[in-house]
Amino acid sequence: MEIGETSGSIMQRDPNCTLCPLHKTADFVCLLGAGPRRPQAMLIGEAPGQREDAEGRAFVGRAGQLLDRMLGEVGLSRDDLYITNVVHCRPPNNRSPTRREISACMKWLNYEVSMIKPKIIALLGNVALKAMLGLKGIKKLRGRPIERDGVTYLPMYHPSYILRGDNKDLPTGIADLRTLKDIIEYGGVPEERDLRPTLVDTWPKVEQMLAALTGSVSVDIETTTLYPWAKDARVVMFGFGTRAGEFDVPAFHKDSPWTDKDISRIVELATDKLEDTINVYHNGKYDCLWMKVHYGVNWRNDFDTLLAHYLIDENSLHGLEFLARLYFGAPNWDIPLEEKQGNAPLPKLAKYHAHDLFYTRKLFFELSHELKDKQIKRVFRHILMPAANLFVHMEHRGCYIDATRMDEAERWLRSELTKAELALNKWGKINWGSPKQVGKLLYNDLSIKCPQTTRKGAPSTSESALNQIDHPAVADLIRYRGHRQQLSFFVEGWRPYIVNSRIHPSFKLHGTVTGRPSCEHPNFQQVPRDTRIRSQITAPTGWTLVEADLSQIELRLAAELSRVPSMMEAFRTGLDIHWKTALGELERYAGQRELVLATARAAQGSKTSYAEGIEILRKMGPDAAIDIDPAWKEIRKRAKAVSFGYLYGMWHKKFRIYARDNYGIVISDEEARKSREAFFDLYPLTTWHHSCQRIAADYGYVRTMTGRKRRLPHAQDGHDSPERAEAWRQAINSPIQGTASDLNLMVLLELASAYPRTVVKPIITVHDAILAEVRDDYVERVATRLLEIMRSPVMLKIFDIHFAVPICGEVKLGPWGSGVSLERWRRENAGNQK
DNA sequence: TGCTGATGCGCG
DNA sequence: AAAGCGCGCATCAGCA
């Protein structure tokens, strides 16, 4: 070993190192870093380059020069820094070091770190990030300090990366070096200057905390699990961010001084104070739900920073840490999941928790200022925040599951599945759930011609492809898939979620870019319409499940927004648009001949021609036709899909495919084009389409009728592109989808405010429908009221919306998917109402 | 062994 | 060059 051969180094290097193969190709073996023994910070790069290798000095090539320039820019000097690399020999051909080389050379990096003992380390590039912290994703992690074992790490781009990118990331690199300088000057993460955490572990401190609960207060909790009904679900810590600092109350933690009784008392005292404060949460639905489940308290959420940011930019992420960095350049204060769940010492947990509280409160001031758009603020105040609070009760109630129906559904699905599988196994014993194996069997072993490939070029086994194949296995395969999916989604998939006969799904009010809520764990918005599946969800004894849905709401809104006279007229006279479209399509191709003739005959009592039959069907409407033959239901459903397709910008080529897959009708391009033209002749929507596109292109966004924005930056692209075409189609769809969803939420809110929570319990929203459990003695009143609400939602006044097209809805009473109309329910339950 | 992307399919 | 929109999730296969 030699001492100090490297210029400026105080290290003992090993020029004969053979820990990895790089020693064979490098000129200068074991090129350690350079700098003072007690530097302000340590910088770690990737590996020596050509010039470094030749001169035996770290960071002297082009990257080194750029680094010097950047350091100069922010007022840092190389003389105060120790600069080294993860790998200490030059890899040949300018390649990156391999994992093996990196792990072999860690010995030398660890040696350098142990000698220098830096408190601050800058990680230049992904290799250093991975080597020191085991993390990857420099683009995501750069610029934010990460503290570990008392050392502050700052990931940033490697200067070579900046050079490769033509210096377009130079400003970012310089900004990150400024952060480094801040950290050096402060001796740690600067933002923490503002943090004033108090671990509330004595009664005097409780008093101090309660006294601080005035004005705007941020609220946050830490928990052992994400699911409040899990077996080992506990609140680890709860607390409040105030003007006087952050107060962290340890609850379920091995070092907590509090008994369960103490905690209940503290929660009770805090609950009183929170009545009179402005309560700020980040995704408060989560915290409020937990507090309700575990302590039985109803904490009110006045301002949700996640939902506020969702309205400010629906395309972005909305996580607390992400926003704190975006708005304040905050450090990464995250700790490992395991520690958050209660396995960190209390002071460490309190510090983490204090960050959450501090930045939630800080974001409140920032975002309430940024919600300056009056219309958006109105959506926030009158829809999102009330809905966020209502959803707590909705999720808390959960959906009642009928165990008997679930068992029946399972038995039926399993027997169907067995039958289908038995039939399939004639063709080969494979895993029929694997698209790859199915593809191989069909297209290789059975030598069927593959009708289409997937996006990635693999032979497709999708339903669309299968429908083009003439083979007896196809029908069985489609059945097999359907039953298999239903079994694993809606029976097996649900079972683990059941708690006391109920499933508590989680809704995200920020789940979509259009304003619709989404639903997960499980997703109750994708339950098949099959009665066997749907009616698993019902209401317990003493309660009735009520479903209210807004009839054809998207189409009504399209009529309203486009002002197309024929569409508006259709809704004024109560005509069914999808029915009209369905019959138009059939007539064009003289399709479903026997069904048309048979249905018309049944209705008429005498034989008719095909054309007369179509006319009779047109007059009788879908409901009467479905009564005669249920096959009409499917036909109308398919026409509906086509109408929506055209409405939202589908082109004739896709219709061709649609007709082939769904009607089994092979039509020419020309015929498809004519079909589309016929639709637009009937409903001239083109002008409206263009105006939506124009607005998006001019402003870069479109709005719902409630004022919610859908930002479409690509709509402003100067040239025609797939992205712009997509944005333009979204410009047509979003105002409708978003308005429909807001309307649905408004109906839900109005229902909830019309009756006490002891009488009406909303449980699910499905885009244009709501489901609620209603106490038996209130069913008739609530159902009637719901119909009134849907005809004229009181909340339309708040948004100053006036409809020319009538809106209405229908209610169904009874298990989901098999409920009956109010009239029928009245007949069957006469005299049960108070 | 756990993660990611592709595929496929349920709903509105 | 390509042309309905919006979701969640189970499964498989490839990869580390």
Chain position carrying tokens 């165990």: A403
Distance in Å, residue A734 CA to nucleotide C6 C1'? 9
% chain A with pLDDT above 90: 61
**Nucleotide nearest to A431 in CA–C1' terms:** C12
Q: Which of A550, A545, A549, A553 is nearest to A762 (CA)?
A: A545
Q: Please state, rounded to an integer, the average pLDDT across all residues of chain A.
A: 90
Q: Please report which residue ranges of A563-649 form alpha helices under DSSP H.
A: 565-572, 577-589, 593-604, 610-628, 631-647
pLDDT digit string, tens, across residues A118-146: 999 999 988 898 888 877 777 777 887 88
| Neighbouring C-alpha atoms within 13 Å toward the C-beta of A64 | 19
Q: Which residue is nearest to nucleotide C2 (CA to C1')?
A: A722
Distance in Å, residue A404 CA to nucleotide C11 C1'? 28
Asked whether A675 and A655 are in contact (CB, 8 A), the reply is: yes
Query: Does the C-beta of A513 come within 7 A of strand B?
Result: no
Asked whether A718 and A756 are in contact (CB, 8 A), the reply is: no
Asked whether A400 and A538 are in contact (CB, 8 A), the reply is: yes
Distance in Å, residue A232 CA to nucleotide B1 C1'? 25
Taking CA atoms, A688 is separated from A79, A363, A580, in Å, by 66, 39, 21
Distance in Å, residue A21 CA to nucleotide C15 C1'? 25
Q: CA-to-CA distance for A95 and A30, rounded, in angstroms?
A: 17
**What confidence category does residue A5 fall into, taking pLDDT thresholds of 50, 70 and 90?**
very low
Q: Which of A578, A546, A602, A529 is nearest to A787 (CA)?
A: A546
pLDDT score recorded for residue A169: 80
pLDDT digit string, tens, across residues A670-712: 988 988 998 998 899 999 999 999 999 999 999 999 999 999 9
| Chain C, protein-covered positions (CB within 7 A) | 1-14
Task: Kindly report whether the global pTM for this prediction surpasses the value 0.85.
Answer: no
Distance in Å, residue A800 CA to nucleotide C15 C1'? 56
% chain A with pLDDT above 70: 98
Q: Which amino acid is at A726?
A: E
Copy the structure tokens of residue A397: 């109630």
Backbone angles phi, psi at A674, to 5 degrees: -65, -35
Beta-strand runs (E) in A173-307: 197-199, 216-223, 235-242, 245-250, 278-281, 303-304
pLDDT score recorded for residue A101: 86
| Neighbouring C-alpha atoms within 13 Å toward the C-beta of A689 | 13
What are the DSSP calls for A449-490, one per residue? Answer: PP--B-TTSSBP-SHHHHTT---THHHHHHHHHHHHHHHHHH
pLDDT digit string, tens, across residues A517-576: 999 999 999 999 999 999 999 999 999 999 999 999 999 999 999 999 999 999 998 888
Query: Does the C-beta of A821 come within 7 A of strand B?
Result: no
Which residue did the predictor score with more confidence, A191 or A98?
A98
**Nucleotide nearest to A463 in CA–C1' terms:** B8
pLDDT digit string, tens, across residues A227-269: 999 988 999 999 999 999 999 999 999 999 999 999 999 999 9
> Residue A335 above 80 pLDDT?
no
Which residue did the predictor score with more confidence, A91 or A758?
A758
Distance in Å, residue A669 CA to nucleotide C16 C1'? 47
Distance in Å, residue A534 CA to nucleotide C8 C1'? 17
pLDDT score recorded for residue A476: 84
Strand-pair category, A41-45 with A81-85: parallel
Asked whether A311 and A379 are in contact (CB, 8 A), the reply is: yes
pLDDT score recorded for residue A582: 86
**What confidence category does residue A7 fall into, taking pLDDT thresholds of 50, 70 and 90?**
very low
pLDDT score recorded for residue A71: 94
- Cα distance from N-terminal residue to C-terminal residue, chain A: 96
Q: Which amino acid is at A519?
A: C
Asked whether A190 and A198 are in contact (CB, 8 A), the reply is: no
**What confidence category does residue A175 fall into, taking pLDDT thresholds of 50, 70 and 90?**
confident
pLDDT score recorded for residue A9: 53
> Residue A4 above 90 pLDDT?
no
**What confidence category does residue A2 fall into, taking pLDDT thresholds of 50, 70 and 90?**
very low
Q: CA-to-CA distance for A746 and A530, rounded, in angstroms?
A: 28
Copy the structure tokens of residue A708: 């919610």
CB neighbours of residue A423 within 10 Å: 16
Angle, helix A577-589 to helix A565-572, in steps of 10 degrees: 120
pLDDT score recorded for residue A522: 92
**What confidence category does residue A664 fall into, taking pLDDT thresholds of 50, 70 and 90?**
confident
CB neighbours of residue A18 within 10 Å: 11
Asked whether A367 and A309 are in contact (CB, 8 A), the reply is: yes
Residues with CB under 7 A from strand C: A 431, 433-437, 488-489, 493, 508, 511-514, 516, 518-523, 525-526, 641, 644-645, 648-651, 653-654, 720-722, 725-726, 729-730, 733-734, 737, 767
pLDDT score recorded for residue A485: 86
> Residue A436 above 80 pLDDT?
no
Q: Which of A275, A805, A280 is nearest to A553 (CA)?
A: A805
pLDDT score recorded for residue A191: 64
DSSP at A191: G
H/E stretch holding A377 reads: helix A374-379
Q: CA-to-CA distance for A123 and A156, rounded, in angstroms?
A: 6
Copy the structure tokens of residue A779: 């069913």
pLDDT score recorded for residue A260: 96
CB neighbours of residue A802 within 10 Å: 9
Angle, helix A722-754 to helix A779-791, in steps of 10 degrees: 140
Which residues, listed in sequence order, are joined to residue A770 by a DSSP beta bridge?
A548, A765
Backbone angles phi, psi at A78, to 5 degrees: -60, -30
